[in-house]
């Protein structure tokens, strides 16, 4: 009975999307089920392909932006003619909450990074740096306010990160070396509040939201966490995912934006924001624990190399 209900709901959704597109749908399939949204792949009789993001009723958590705000951000970015492609939104729906955009051909950077040459990695990193400089210049605070996304002028830690930071020191199972590095990072973070830069940020630009085709960036997707906030947060996942290459992103950003960023601020922000995940992995044991220890070792090396301690 439940399966029949799900099939009926999917059929109704397909019919609604077909009307919004004004086209006959020839293929309709669930592409991915995220924490907050379902993503459907849609093909139409004219050979076009689309991705439709639909809000889940059983969200694991609520992103900063609902799908309407996210769609507005994508529409605004697309209109700016950026150097890196962003989704071209073709419809937005309030009931049900969803929006559709033209399919971007490509694979996740996460899946291709290991197969890229060093020159290709650097080229992608420099393109990312310029992209973040570009959106900082072109997507103004006024535009952010108009789209309804969060204006975050705080130079402090995200409340959830701050809470998790305090829990670390109350936990007997967390290694002392983790705690010591956390204290060092927090001291650095607290003493670099004067080195902040605020602008429009994607805020979730990691290697799963960056699509690659022919060894180049084909698109950057998913603006559910976008805000006008401190740019150091923008680079946290890059430092985590590409510790040996994030400098190319940062230096190109600086050249393109004219903003000088504090490496101390960037590295401390990255470590503190990633600490909850590191602790979670450590507690899982096995390979996850090994990965957590390797992450801490990498951050310690970054801090030492930048002469932060």
Q: Are 75 and 89 in contact (CB under 8 A)?
A: yes
Report residue 77: phi and psi, to 5°: -65, -45
Instruction: Give yes or no for residue 4 having a pLDDT over 80.
Output: no
Tell me if residue 43 falls in helix, strand or coil. strand
Instruction: Give yes or no for residue 2 having a pLDDT over 50.
Output: no
8-12, 65-69, 176-180, 206-210: least confident range: 8-12
The DSSP code for 172 is: T
For the stretch 102-133, pLDDT in tens is 999 999 999 999 999 999 999 999 999 999 99
The DSSP code for 195 is: G
Instruction: Give yes or no for residue 180 having a pLDDT over 90.
Output: yes
When pLDDT is cut at 50, 70 and 90, the band that residue 1 belongs to is very low
Beta bridge partners of 216: 213
**154 Cβ partners below 8 Å, 6+ apart?**
229, 230
Residue ranges in the chain assigned as alpha helix (H): 2-21, 67-79, 109-112, 118-138, 141-147, 159-170, 176-190, 236-241, 246-257, 263-284, 286-305
Query: pLDDT over 90 for what percent of the chain?
Result: 89
Q: At what angle do helices 118-138 and 246-257 cross, to 10 degrees?
A: 40
The DSSP code for 127 is: H
For range 140-155, the mean pLDDT: 95
In this prediction, residue 309 carries a pLDDT of 45
When pLDDT is cut at 50, 70 and 90, the band that residue 272 belongs to is very high
Instruction: Give yes or no for residue 308 having a pLDDT over 70.
Output: no
Of 256, 206, 194, 255, the closest CA to residue 230 belongs to 194
In this prediction, residue 3 carries a pLDDT of 54
Beta bridge partners of 41: 29, 51
97-101, 158-162, 271-275: least confident range: 158-162
3-7, 170-174, 279-283, 287-291: least confident range: 3-7
When pLDDT is cut at 50, 70 and 90, the band that residue 33 belongs to is confident
Question: What separation in angstroms does the CA of 294 have from each of 109, 236, 308?
Answer: 21, 17, 19
Of 66, 13, 56, the closest CA to residue 35 belongs to 56
In this prediction, residue 5 carries a pLDDT of 59
Report residue 110: phi and psi, to 5°: -55, -40
In this prediction, residue 249 carries a pLDDT of 98
Which element (helix H / strand E) includes 229? strand 227-230
For the stretch 252-263, pLDDT in tens is 999 999 999 999
In this prediction, residue 17 carries a pLDDT of 97
For the stretch 64-104, pLDDT in tens is 899 999 999 999 999 999 999 999 999 999 999 999 999 99
Q: Are 202 and 219 in contact (CB under 8 A)?
A: no
Mean pLDDT score of the chain: 94
When pLDDT is cut at 50, 70 and 90, the band that residue 35 belongs to is confident
Strand ordering across the sheet containing 227-230? 150-151, 227-230, 198-201
Beta bridge partners of 35: none
- Can you tell me the distance from the alpha carbon of 269 to that of 72, in angstroms, rounded to the nearest whole number? 28
- Can you tell me the distance from the alpha carbon of 231 to that of 208, in angstroms, rounded to the nearest whole number? 20
Instruction: Give yes or no for residue 57 having a pLDDT over 90.
Output: no
Beta strand 25-33 pairing with 37-44:
antiparallel
């Amino acid at each position: 009975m439940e399966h029949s209900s799900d099939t009926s709901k999917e059929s109704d959704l397909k019919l609604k999307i077909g009307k919004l597109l004004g086209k006959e749908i020839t293929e309709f399939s669930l592409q991915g089920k995220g924490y907050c949204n379902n993503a459907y792949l849609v093909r139409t009789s004219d050979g076009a392909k689309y991705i439709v993001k639909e809000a889940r009723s059983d969200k694991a958590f609520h992103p900063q932006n609902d799908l309407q705000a996210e769609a507005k951000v994508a529409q605004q970015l697309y209109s700016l003619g950026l150097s890196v492609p962003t989704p071209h939104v073709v419809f937005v729906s309030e009931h049900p909450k969803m929006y559709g955009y033209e399919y971007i051909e490509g694979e996740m950077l996460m899946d291709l990074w290991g197969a890229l040459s060093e020159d290709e990695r650097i080229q992608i990193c420099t393109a990312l740096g310029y992209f973040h400089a570009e959106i900082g210049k072109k997507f103004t605070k006024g535009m952010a306010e108009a789209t309804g996304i969060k204006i975050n002028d705080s130079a402090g830690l995200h409340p959830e990160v701050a809470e998790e930071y305090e829990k670390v020191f109350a936990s007997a199972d967390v290694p002392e070396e983790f705690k010591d590095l956390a204290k060092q990072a927090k001291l650095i973070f607290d003493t670099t509040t004067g080195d902040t830069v605020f602008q429009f940020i994607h805020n979730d630009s990691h290697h799963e939201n960056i699509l690659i085709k022919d060894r180049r960036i084909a698109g950057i997707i998913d603006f559910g966490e976008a805000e006008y906030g401190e740019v150091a947060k923008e680079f946290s996942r890059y430092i985590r995912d590409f510790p040996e290459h994030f400098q190319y992103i940062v230096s190109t950003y600086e050249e393109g934006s004219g903003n000088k960023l504090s490496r101390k601020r960037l590295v401390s922000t990255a470590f503190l924001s990633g600490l909850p995940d590191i602790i979670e992995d450590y507690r899982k044991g096995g390979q996850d624990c090994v990965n957590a220890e390797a992450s801490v070792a990498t951050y310690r090396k970054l801090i030492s190399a930048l002469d932060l301690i």
